[in-house]
Amino acid sequence: MSELINEYLGRLKAALSGADPATIQDALCDAEEHLWTALELAREEKPGIQDSEAVRAEIERYGSPEEVASAYLRIGPRFGASVGVRGASAGRSATNRFFGVFTDPTAYGALFYMFFSMITGIFYFTWAVSGLSLAAGLIVLIIGLPFLGIFLLSVRGIAHVEGRIIEALLGVRMPRRPIFARKGLSWSGRLSALVRDPMTWKNILYMVLMLPLGIIYFTVTFVSLVLSFWGMLRPVLEYGFDLPYAQIDNVAYFTTEWMMPVVMATGVLWLFVTMHMARGLGRMHARMARSLLVRD
C-alpha cells in the first residue's frame, strides 16, 4: 500500500544521500511511477490480492534500495531539473527552442492553466476565508469542532485536486501522500492531527494566495494574447473593416503600408513570447505549489 511504497522511497532516498538532487529526484520518480503502476495492475489482475502483499512482491522485483541506488550512481549526475519535456529541447538551437514552444504540450497546458486559475483562485479564496471565519465564529458552539474538522478535510481534499490539475496541465509531478500517517485514529485524534499538521495551514495559505495570483496570471496572459492578435489582425481590421488603430481628436490613424508586415511579424513573435511566458509562469507556479500543497 501507499505506506509501503513511501517507506521504500524513503529508503531509496537515504541510499542515494550525497548524490546530486536531480539524480535523487529521477530515482524517486521512476520508483514511484513503477510501483504505483504495478500495484494498479496487480489489483486489476488479481482482485482478491492484498495491497501490501502485491507491493512487497513488486518491491522485491524492483530491487533493494541499495542496488537501485548504485545503478543510478553508475550512470552519473544529470544536469537540469526534470520538468516535462526538458529532454526534448536539449541540444537544439536557440531558434528551434524559441519556436519549438509551439509543439510543447505543457505550454498549452500552462496557457490554459493561466486562464483557469482566476476562476479556481476566486473559489479557493472564498472557500478558505469563509470556512476559516465560520469555524472561528462557531468554535464556542457544540458544532464548532466538527465544522472545523470538515472544513480542514475539505482543504486537504481541494489541495489534492489542485495537485492533480497542476500535474496534468503543468506537467510537474506532485507526489501523493496519505493525509493521515497513522491508521485507526479516533475522530478527535484525526482532528488534532489535521490541526497540528503544518501542511493543512500551508494548503490554506495556497488557497488564499491563489486569488491575487490567479488575477495576475489571467490578466498578464490575456493582455499578452490580445496584443499579439491585435498585431496579427491589423490588415484584416484596417483593410477589411476600415478600423483605425487609434482615433484622437477626430483624426484616424492607420498603419503605414511598409509598417504592416513589421506589425504583423511582431504579433506572431509575440504569440511565441506569450507561450514562453505562460510556460515559465507555470513552472514557477508549480514550484510554489509543490512546497505549499504536498510533502516531498
Partner 1 sequence: MNEMNEAEAARKKFRKELKSGTVSLVLLSILSRAEHPMYGYQITKNIDSGEGSGPDMGQGALYPVLRSLEKTGLLESRVEPSVSGPPRRYYSITEAGRETLVDWTGTWEETRNFVDATLKGDRDV
For position 162 contacting partner 1 by CB under 8 A, the verdict is no
Q: Which of 48, 61, 196, 241 touches partner 1 (CB under 8 A)?
A: 61
Q: Does 290 bind partner 1 (CB under 8 A)?
A: no
Q: Taking CB under 8 A as the rule, does residue 81 contact partner 1?
A: no
**Minimum CB separation from partner 1 for residue 87, in Å?**
5
Residue range at the interface with partner 1 (CB under 8 A); choices 35-43, 147-155, 192-200, 264-272: 35-43
Stretch that binds partner 1, among 39-47, 205-213, 259-267, 281-289 (CB under 8 A): 39-47
- As measured in angstroms, the least distance from the Cβ of 293 to partner 1 is 15
Three-class SS string for the chain? CHHHHHHHHHHHHHHCCCCCHHHHHHHHHHHHHHHHHHHHHHHHHCCCCCHHHHHHHHHHHHCCHHHHHHHHHHHCCCCCCCCCCHHHHCCCCHHHHHHHHHHCHHHHHHHHHHHHHHHHHHHHHHHHHHHHHHHHHHCCCCCHHHHHHHHHHHHHHHHHHHHHHHHHHHCCCCCCCCCCCCCCCCHHHHHHHHHHCHHHHHHHHHHHHHHHHHHHHHHHHHHHHHHHHHHHCHHHHHHHCCCCCEEECCEEECCCCCHHHHHHHHHHHHHHHHHHHHHHHHHHHHHHHHHHHCCC
The minimum distance between CB 29 and partner 1, in angstroms, equals 7
Q: What CA–CA distance (Å, rounded) separates 221 from 242? A: 28
Stretch binding partner 1 (CB under 8 A), from 58-66, 137-145, 244-252, 276-284: 58-66
Give the interface segment with partner 1, choosing from 45-53, 168-176, 204-212, 240-248 (CB under 8 A): 168-176
Q: Which of 24, 27, 158, 289 binds partner 1 (CB under 8 A)?
A: 27
How far from 200 is each of 17, 76, 122, CA to CA, in Å?
Answer: 28, 37, 19
User: Which of residues 100, 144, 175, 267 is near partner 1 by CB under 8 A?
Assistant: 175
183 to 222: interface string for partner 1, x by CB under 8 A: ----------------------------------------
Cell numbers linked to 135: 469555524
Give the end-to-end CA distance of the chain in Å, rounded to a whole number: 18
Under the binding rule (CB under 8 A), the answer on residue 38 touching partner 1 is yes
Rule CB under 8 A: say whether 75 interacts with partner 1.
yes
Q: Is 105 in the site for partner 1 (CB under 8 A)?
A: yes
Q: How many residues bind partner 1 (CB under 8 A)?
A: 40
Binding site for partner 1 (CB under 8 A): 26-27, 29-34, 36-41, 61-64, 67-68, 71-72, 74-76, 78, 84-85, 87-88, 90-91, 105, 164, 167-168, 171, 173, 175-176
